[in-house]
Amino acid sequence: MTAPARPRTLVLRFAAAFALLALANTAVQARTVYRCVRDGTVSLATAPEPGSRCEAKQIDDNAVKLPNLWGELGVINGNLYERQQDGKTVYSTRNLPGSVRVMGFSVETPPGEPAHPGLGKVGKPQLDKFAAQFRSAAKANGLDDAWLRAIAHAESGFDARAVSSKGAQGVMQLMPDTAKEYGVVDPFSSDESIKAGARHLKSLLRRYNNDLTLATAAYNAGIGTVTRYRGVPPYRETQEYIAKVEALVQRYQLALGTRKPALRAAQ
């Protein structure tokens, strides 16, 4: 039987697909990886995590292209933890009670499924989608109607039932905690989602001194990530998201006949 690969070597081999395949006890052709979601955050584990919603994924050791199980693109920094569960040693990238840190890792995700279903081609403006709701929410929060629509276009493609791999929901793809913060009762209500999304964007603009680029980056990657990198994070997804929103803003401005500033704030 072939000896198991060294932990750090396999961590780099599998990169963002699954850092903890490194510590498998035997050499096999395929492994089961559990992608677990809790409170909007993703972890990878060798067994279902208590308290998380987990889905089993089969990973082929010999695959040329590995799947992106994280649901986001860019550099992932994290730790690998070991703990005992049901009498067995299991590994996870989430620090659960009784866990011991084994190693840290920093890897770049392979291209894969984008975190937001709306990412992809820019597409044409869709002025008929929830038009009155966007106008009302934009006016109530002092936002550019074109920007608000562009965010929704990029996030969900105006699908009120959209759910991302991270757990974001509705037209504006709000995470459950964010939706709760703004009093959303039904995340799949287009009216509630658009109103809450607009209020959240207004809050982000206030935080970033009306810098539309940073507000857009924070909407995609989170305030903590923008703070950590002191600006737009080096994630391909976020950078492509900003570029897509910028292009959409311009198209919606033309379609709406407005003459608002472009996405990037004036220097």
3-state DSSP of the chain? CCCCCCHHHHHHHHHHHCHHHHHCCCCCCEEEEEEEEECCEEEEECCCCCCCEEEEEEEECCCCCCCCCCCCCCEEEEEEEEEEECCEEEEECCCCCCCEEEEEEEEECCCCCCCCCCCCCCCCCCCCCCHHHHHHHHHHHCCCHHHHHHHHHHHHCCCCCCECCCCCECCCCECHHHHHHCCCCCCCCHHHHHHHHHHHHHHHHHHCCCCHHHHHHHHHHCHHHHHHHCCCCCCHHHHHHHHHHHHHHHHHHHHHCCCCCCCCCCC
Is 155 marked active-site? yes
Query: Among 49, 72, 155, 246, which one carries the catalytic annotation?
Result: 155
Angle between the 145-156 and 236-256 helix axes, to the nearest 10 degrees?
130
Indicate which residues carry an active-site annotation.
Answer: 155
